[in-house]
Amino acid sequence: MDRGRDEHLAVIRFAGTLVPASFAEFAAHRADRLSLARKVLAQDANGATIRVTGPAAPVDASKMALSLGLAACLVREVTRLDPEG
């Protein structure tokens, strides 16, 4: 993927107790609000790994935006897996 100079990529693992379909929908909504491209790489009831791409500040904000909210999902740990993290 050829990213522009202002494009950053993050691969973030959210571990906890998740409802996969709800968390995927929530992640899509938050990524859209932050104007980020996103792809769910893996997800199950114990966590989700999501790749987000966009400007640096919203990419960094996505960790917080996805770890808060959605009452049906309890995120206990957030780990950024990419080299920039």
Q: How far apart are CA 28 and CA 2, in angstroms?
A: 22
Residue 57: its pLDDT value, please?
Answer: 92
- Dist CA 84 CA 11 (whole Å): 9
What integer pLDDT is reported at residue 10 of this predicted model?
92
Amino acid identity, position 5 = R
Region 65-85 average pLDDT: 78
Q: What is the pLDDT of residues 45-68, one digit of tens each?
A: 999 999 999 999 999 898 888 888
Residue 17 has pLDDT above 70, yes or no: yes
Q: Give the pLDDT score at 68.
A: 81
Domain 8-80 falls in which CATH fold?
Alpha-Beta Plaits (3.30.70)
Over range 28-40, report the average pLDDT.
Answer: 93
